[in-house]
A and B are shown apart, each in its own frame.
Chain A
Amino acid sequence: MTREELPNLAESKLTALVVDDNFVNQSIHQKLLARLGITNEVVCNGKEAVDAHCSGRNYDLILMDMDMPIMNGIQATKRLREMGIESKIAGVTTRANEGEKKEFMEAGLNDFQEKPLTISKLLSILHKFDFYVQT
């Protein structure tokens, strides 16, 4: 897909939260979202993601890493669902054996993608959540 063919979802006013402790991944995921016109913020671990929601912030989409210090992605996803957060949560991780994937999904994910994240994978996530309809 060329740059010119990328959808611009700015009119949808979608918001996203990147939850990842790695600065490289934070940077890339934020750029991917921005390229599609999705406003986004970043936090460094699951506790910060929970705290953001406790402070009243809400997002259409959460990109959740699995391995993080303080509170990992599984714990954070469970906690957010317990709080009644209904945002779409996509797990994004390099750990992809079936057992780990199952545990992550059962925590409350809506989707799961293996890192590294690309434009195609992000569009697949958005399409699954009906945030993006391919024409």
Chain B
Amino acid sequence: MNTIVVGQLQRQFQDYIVSLYQQGYLDNQFTELRKLQDEGSPDFVAEVVSLFFDDCAKVINDMSTSLERPDHVDFKQVDSGVHQLKGSSSSVGARRVKNVCIAFKECCDVQNREGCLRCLQQVDYEYKMLKTKLQDLFNLEQQILQAGGTIPQVSMN
């Protein structure tokens, strides 16, 4: 094991994950998720966020269909989708996605189709951005493990 390389990778990992919290992509719930990962389920976090991203894609597609026709918007269906996304984003610590969902719900409540469309676009952007960021994070984890190191526990307190 090259301890210098491992050390550099670990520092890179720590700096990157801290930046994700500081930039608002993640909140403390992501920390809680990481605590649940262990030797028995070493890919737990990656698996759960993968479920989340699959959920996002499906729900966003459904909401897009519901918002398509200006004269026939099913706001109940959209609200249901927003609720689902808010719940799952909250559960994985996807802070920006969750915050967009809060604004999205407000647009649904007043049946503001234009507002909903803007929120839909934004939630689509935010989940895809987070997906890319987390993929980079998981890649760093793999590099650390392949170099013979351990993944640092990063405290955000």
Contacts and interface: CB of A to CB of B under 8 A. Distances in A.
A116 B51 contact: no
B29 A94 contact: no
B91 interface: yes
B15 interface: no
Contacts of B83: 67, 94-95
Contacts of B29: 116, 118
B36 A24 contact: no
A24 B48 contact: yes
Interface in A12-29: 22-25, 27-28
Mostly, the A contact residues are helix
Interface size class of B (residues with CB under 8 A): 20 to 34
A116 B92 CA distance: 8
A113 to B, nearest CB: 13
Contacts of B51: 23-24, 27
Given A116-B90, A119-B35, A22 B48 contact: no
B55 A31 contact: no
Given A28-B92, A116-B32, 17 more contacts: A3-B35, A22-B84, A23-B51, A24-B52, A25-B88, A27-B47, A28-B48, A31-B41, A31-B48, A32-B36, A35-B36, A35-B38, A67-B83, A94-B87, A95-B83, A116-B90, A116-B91
Interface of B: 29, 32-33, 35-36, 38, 41, 44, 47-48, 51-52, 55, 80, 83-84, 86-88, 90-93
